């Protein structure tokens, strides 16, 4: 304990954090954007100077990072201009936003700032999501061993091994990495979504059962599992709900709806495609029940955590609830069977006592599983230790060192070839 206190005192010296983002954060568009802002908040509160760099184009809905005291920097893929940038910045810690970004920029960080601590925020385990999606489309049962033949798994696991520490959002995915890929727990850190505690006075301010109406689904449509979920609702589940409850209305919200999403809009069936929510929190607070029959995916589901925060019970699947509630009762119902899913949705919508108990379950899950103070200090402690003893940490991550050695060469020369080709063109 005294050792950790000493390390945090040492952190009073200003440290530089470079975050390399896959996209610019859009916390109102996706759970990934909210997750990134949570990470920024943790490091900012602990005295880090933060620069956020990304090769992505600006978007209309990106957050203004300067309002949070974060410097914004546009960078290029396959360009030595990044080398000049990072040498001048000389960060103490580099956080890669998803493994694809580590693939692109990791070797440049290693070559130009070898002492910088390399963190990877996986968001979710992409190979797990991809393998599940493939099994679903091939109409077969997903098996964990499917991951071993997944091409993206080779890339993702290599990225995890090359980094000093990977931030994992799901305990189930931690187990997958330990048991299927034999990844050492020393290079993994469990960091779920982090939110504030719901106190009794906050709970009493939430809209009541009587004040709410309609079912709701909300999710970014650039994310394939969300589009599939809305299709599933429209074609299979919603007709069963309407048969039992003819007055039922479902409002579907989400950023970036495509034309095929908009075509599902059928007011006569009580199925409304609304599009982007100006304030997702307000939308969910006004709804009585969230529906999320998710059939494939990975990570934690931000929409279901948001439902709990808003006091809105939900009906979801085992994939939807995976790793989200420890051993606590769910915030509603978990059901994979179509007919039972529809029946439970109608029951939850109409039975006030069941609804209220489900709401309380959600509050208990948040206060037990997602408390910011429970995890943020631990993260800063381990980063502090890495800053002081990275050499020893890396010495014991032999597979990471091996991959770093070979990948540095292969990725480096591929990037330089692309850069030379771009200049020639």
Query: Which residue, of 327, 342, 369, is where some domain finishes?
Result: 369
Question: Does residue 2 belong to any structural domain of this protein?
Answer: no
* pLDDT over 70 at 4, yes or no: no
For residues 27 and 150, state if they share a domain: yes
Residues 273 and 296 in one domain: yes
Count up the domains in the chain and report the number: 2
Query: Would you place residue 3 in the very low, low, confident or very high pLDDT band (cuts 50, 70, 90)?
Result: very low
Euclidean distance between CA atoms 262 and 256, whole angstroms: 10
In-domain check, residue 220? yes
Same domain, 176 and 312: no
Region at 299 (left for phi over 0; alpha for psi -120 to 50; beta for the rest): left
pLDDT recorded at residue 422:
76
Mean pLDDT, residues 19-34: 93
Residues 130 and 40 in one domain: yes
| pLDDT for 183 | 96
Based on the fold, state whether residues 278 and 230 are members of the same structural domain.
Answer: yes
pTM for this predicted structure: 0.91
Q: Model confidence over 234-261: pLDDT tens digits?
A: 999 999 999 999 999 999 999 999 999 9
Q: State whether 224 and 295 are in the same domain.
A: yes
> How is the beta sheet containing 250-253 ordered, strand by strand?
271-275, 250-253, 215-218, 289-292, 314-316, 332-334
Share of the chain above pLDDT 90, in %: 85
Examine the fold and report which residue of 369, 391, 409 is the final residue of a domain before the chain moves on.
369
The CATH number of residue 260's host domain is 3.40.50.2000
Each residue of 272-292: pLDDT tens digit?
A: 999 999 999 999 999 999 999
385 and 245 in a single domain? The answer is no
61 and 103 part of one domain? yes
Strand partners, 195: 371
Sign of CA dihedral 221, 226, 232, 237: negative
Residue-averaged pLDDT of the chain: 93
User: Mean of the pLDDT values across residues 105-134?
Assistant: 96
362 and 377 co-located in one domain: no
The residue range of the domain holding 128 is 7-194+372-424
Are 339 and 419 in a shared domain? no
Same domain, yes or no: 230 and 350? yes
Residues 193 and 300: beta-carbon distance below 8 Å: yes
CB atoms within 10 A of CB 212: 20
């Amino acid at each position: 304990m005294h050792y950790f206190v000493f390390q945090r005192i040492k952190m009073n010296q200003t440290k530089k954090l470079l975050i390399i983002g896959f996209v610019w954060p859009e916390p109102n568009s996706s759970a990934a954007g909210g997750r990134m802002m949570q990470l920024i908040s943790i490091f900012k509160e602990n005295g880090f100077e933060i620069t956020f760099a990304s090769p992505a184009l600006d978007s209309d809905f990106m957050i203004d990072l300067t309002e949070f005291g974060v410097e914004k920097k546009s960078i290029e893929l396959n360009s030595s201009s990044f080398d000049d940038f990072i040498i001048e910045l000389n960060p103490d810690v580099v956080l890669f936003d998803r493994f694809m970004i580590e693939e692109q920029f990791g070797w440049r960080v290693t070559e130009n700032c070898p002492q910088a601590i390399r963190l990877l925020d996986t968001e979710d385990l992409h190979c797990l999501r991809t393998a599940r999606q493939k099994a679903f489309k091939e109409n077969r049962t997903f098996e964990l061993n499917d991951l071993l033949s997944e091409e993206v798994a080779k890339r993702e696991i290599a990225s995890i091994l090359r980094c000093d520490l990977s931030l994992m959002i799901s305990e189930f995915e931690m187990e997958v990495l330990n048991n299927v890929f034999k990844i050492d727990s020393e290079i993994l850190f469990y960091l779920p979504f982090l939110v504030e505690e719901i106190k009794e006075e906050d709970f009493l301010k939430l809209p009541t059962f009587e004040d709410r109406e309609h079912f709701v689904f909300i999710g970014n449509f650039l994310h394939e599992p969300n589009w599939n979920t809305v299709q599933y609702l429209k074609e299979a589940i919603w007709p069963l709900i309407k048969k039992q409850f003819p007055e039922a209305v479902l409002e579907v919200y989400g950023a970036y709806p495509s034309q095929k999403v908009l075509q599902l809009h059928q007011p006569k069936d009580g199925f409304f495609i609304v599009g982007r929510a100006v304030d997702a929190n307000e939308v969910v607070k006004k709804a009585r029940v969230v529906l999320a029959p998710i059939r494939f995916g990975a990570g934690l589901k931000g929409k279901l955590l948001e439902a709990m925060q808003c006091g809105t019970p939900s009906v979801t699947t085992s994939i939807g609830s995976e790793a989200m509630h420890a051993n606590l009762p769910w915030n509603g119902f978990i059901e994979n069977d179509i007919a039972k899913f529809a029946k439970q949705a109608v029951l939850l919508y109409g039975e006030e006592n069941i609804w209220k108990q489900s709401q309380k379950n959600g509050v208990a899950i948040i206060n037990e599983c997602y408390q910011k103070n429970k995890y943020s200090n631990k993260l800063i402690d381990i980063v502090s230790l890495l800053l002081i003893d990275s050499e020893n940490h890396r010495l014991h991550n032999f597979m990471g060192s091996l991959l770093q050695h070979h990948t540095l060469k292969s990725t480096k020369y591929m990037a330089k070839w692309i850069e030379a080709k771009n200049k020639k063109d």
